[in-house]
Structure 1
């Protein structure tokens, strides 16, 4: 962590907006989270409203003046949207270009043409992981479900043998790899290095997705043997197009932001001189904003124009990509407001002081907190944001690498055991035509495997770096 980040973190926690003791603050945290959980699960309130009300409740239970609580919440909301809102928007545009141009179909068809038999689950996890890089989880599911169902139907494969690897690839990308909203918010909250977090995230993601995908799918297929539901096989996204972008151009466009951000991280390590011209150049082109913006601009040509899009259709595609993420931006922003209210109330400092006497590692603590919030709210994003706010002060004394591992520990915990309060649970159930019990035996267990394996790998990495 840089000196500037440490000073900023200290500034955030030096003057709490309340003088409450540890006991009252602990009760306030539990009450605030309970309000959020109750509003989301019992009253089915939108997560944005639940987080907003929960933040005000937290301040009230902590004895903070209402006006100061409002200032903390709005400041956190504004800084979070400023930090990650544009990145989420750019990621949505890139994902929409990928889907509408037929670029995603091109990657799918190319890989499937070269795979068969026992290699098919591995092909599915590869497809999902690559496509999952720029796409939100829900968008990725909608995009990949037709492929999963058609492959299972035409190849006479078990639906779980094909579907679980695809779901694992999407879920691991969503929880661990930026530029997805959860990891981005956690990186911003604990002031981690994005490029290093991305590199370590990929290192953790590869074995995790193998175990939770192709390996676990063997057992899931035995436990739940169901055929692909005919009613859920929709029309392919790009069937109305006369031409599609090439495989190489599509893959290069999707991986461009990843390559630029990883290059920046590599140069930072090799050069290690902020005044050096090479590092200054890569600090610019490897910044998430520039990397994703470059991919979007390149994608307009390699994806949109290659598919025959006119200027008007390109404009329409961009416009349609932004509307669905309004809710995500508001949830992420409100989560940032909740995080700042936690910090300004002194909760983060309280956890820092209390945890000094614990023998539990900070990374395990972060994972457990994220698990608890995930089980309660059902939202991986809410779990990531809330946990990041709670454990942010723990990052002050950590090395750059361990700060990145803290982000990954939070992300891993946020994926633990998806059940009936998670929208993803119902999405998988309906698309695959499963019962609630069958969804628990497959999807829920797969999510738990991802969480435990990734969390374990993060702890192992912390011992060697």
Structure 2
């Protein structure tokens, strides 16, 4: 962050906590009560928070721009390319083809479970943002054809991506925590999946059934293309659509999977420095993987079906205006999180909690939860909390299963209480066309349930492993 080297936060945890709470309340007032658009609201509150926490005046705008830019760097390319890919799938009729196949195989009543399970598999190597954008056309198509609230189909999907992203390697958060705790990644994979699957069912799927009965959210248009109820003309085959969806997953696994294998010592020493390894990891970088998939989709879903290049260009171009608002608001949320992070609010609160002497498994969960609320990013909260408690964990001589359970407990804390400074909050809010109040009732509650349920699972595994 662009702060002077000689600056340090002089405020204690009490005033910093009060400022953070006041900032969130002001956002609620501006967005929900006064109906001010989220984009300027986040900028206003970020500016006021930076000044109130004592960030040097000359550094206020650089800090805001740094948070905004770093978020856009990770989100804009993924959302933009994912939107183009989603538009191609939607326009070609591929979304309807896949939706009809899911309904035929699993039945209408089990369609949400099928979507959720598919998203968990799809989310194994793919990050939350990219996976969500690619799956949205299928979710919307199923919801439109089967009927009912979009939440009944959308919540299981976004919840599946969230569960996989925060709990399961090879995602960066759990892998980094495993490195801090010197945990075997293979053991962590087994333990995290053992906890993640029932967590998704209890905290996400059952919650989706409840919330869909209370909030009837209509299915909006998506990515600049309005799907009709008519059968698509010359649609692609189910196998073609499935290949397009699996391609980015396979490519991204080159990156995340190889990195995990190298970190875990499975590959021969020095593999990471070899050209083949670096080329495969480059192909597996999410923006590159989505770019390759877009090009393949243009051929398979467009040119091969004898669509003209000008028509495809129009469809892909039409997808971008639809996601501009999503990208800008997400960047502004990153700006707010960057200000909170630079002000030292999360670190001050974590230090206070660390001095209370609570058991490590509870301390990791609570510190990660505080950091999550303070700065927004689940990955940052997870890795920071893991680093803070790592000395105690290493000194405790836990077995491998207990260490894996500790990683999951910290991960559980890092997912709770998602709000205005979390990019996932704004992605779900804008793509589902939900106002902020509804997003708090749905997405925020779901994320908190995931954290609480995941922590309960980690606690149970930790206790059972202590008897070994």
Q: Do the aligned residues in 1 keep the contact of 2:364 with 2:413 (CA within 8 Å)?
A: no
Q: Do the aligned residues in 2 keep the contact of 1:342 with 1:390 (CA within 8 Å)?
A: no
Which residue does the alignment assign to 1:89?
Answer: 80
**SS of corresponding position for 2:234:** coil
CA displacement at 1:300 relative to structure 2: 1.2
CA displacement at 1:368 relative to structure 2: 6.2
Q: 1:304 to 1:77 in 2, by over 3 A?
A: same
Matched, 1:343 2:338: no
Query: Which of 310, 313, 316 in structure 1 is aligned with 2:314?
Result: 316
Deviations 1:187-238 (A, max 9, x none): 69x9889xx9xx8998765434434566667x759x9599999xx9x98448
Q: How does 1:293-372 map to 2 (within 5 A)?
A: 293-358=291-356, 359=358, 360-367=362-369, 370=372
Query: Which of 252, 262, 271 in structure 1 is aligned with 2:253?
Result: 262
Matched, 1:34 2:57: no
Q: Do the aligned residues in 2 keep the contact of 1:92 with 1:325 (CA within 8 Å)?
A: yes
Deviations 1:147-195 (A, max 9, x none): 346436xxxxxx58xx7652332231464466x9xx9xx969x9889xx
Query: Which of 402, 410, 414 in structure 2 is aligned with 1:410?
Result: 414
Matched, 1:167 2:154: yes
Distance 1:72 1:413 in 2: 24
Q: How does 1:10-409 map to 2 (within 5 A)?
A: 16=7, 18-116=9-107, 122-123=113-114, 125-126=116-117, 144=139, 147-148=142-143, 150-151=145-146, 166-173=153-160, 175-176=162-163, 206-211=197-202, 220=210, 236-237=227-228, 239=230, 241-268=232-259, 269=261, 270-271=266-267, 273=270, 274-358=272-356, 359=358, 360-367=362-369, 370=372, 384-385=376-377, 393-397=384-388, 409=413
> Which segment is superposed worse, 88-97 or 348-357?
348-357
Deviations 1:313-354 (A, max 9, x none): 111111111112112211221222222222322223323422
How many residue pairs align between the two structures? 412
Question: What runs of 5+ residues in structure 1 fail to find an aligned partner?
Answer: 1-8, 153-158, 374-382, 416-420, 431-435
Q: 1:284 to 1:391 in 2, by over 3 A?
A: closer
CA displacement at 1:243 relative to structure 2: 0.9
Which residue does the alignment assign to 2:181?
Answer: none
CA displacement at 1:138 relative to structure 2: 9.3
Which residue does the alignment assign to 2:400?
Answer: none
Q: Do the aligned residues in 2 keep the contact of 1:245 with 1:307 (CA within 8 Å)?
A: yes
CA displacement at 1:355 relative to structure 2: 2.8
TM-score by length of 1: 0.69
CA displacement at 1:106 relative to structure 2: 0.9
Q: Do the aligned residues in 1 keep the contact of 2:119 with 2:161 (CA within 8 Å)?
A: no
Question: What runs of 5+ residues in structure 2 fail to find an aligned partner?
Answer: 179-184, 391-402, 420-424
Q: Do the aligned residues in 1 keep the contact of 2:418 with 2:448 (CA within 8 Å)?
A: no
Q: 1:328 to 1:166 in 2, by over 3 A?
A: same
Q: Do the aligned residues in 2 keep the contact of 1:395 with 1:403 (CA within 8 Å)?
A: yes
Q: Do the aligned residues in 2 keep the contact of 1:87 with 1:292 (CA within 8 Å)?
A: yes
Deviations 1:83-133 (A, max 9, x none): 332112112111211211111111111222223487555445456768998
Q: Do the aligned residues in 2 keep the contact of 1:164 with 1:443 (CA within 8 Å)?
A: no
Deviations 1:218-262 (A, max 9, x none): x759x9599999xx9x98448374211121121121122222222
Distance 1:350 1:112 in 2: 51
Q: Do the aligned residues in 1 keep the contact of 2:159 with 2:204 (CA within 8 Å)?
A: no
Distance 2:342 2:447 in 1: 33
Distance 1:384 1:76 in 2: 11
> Which segment is superposed worse, 330-339 or 112-121?
112-121
Q: 1:391 to 1:331 in 2, by over 3 A?
A: farther
Q: 1:121 to 1:397 in 2, by over 3 A?
A: closer
Distance 2:324 2:454 in 1: 30
Distance 2:214 2:71 in 1: 44
Q: Do the aligned residues in 1 keep the contact of 2:412 with 2:451 (CA within 8 Å)?
A: no
Which residue does the alignment assign to 2:394?
Answer: none
Q: 1:444 to 1:241 in 2, by over 3 A?
A: same
CA RMSD for the aligned pairs?
5.0
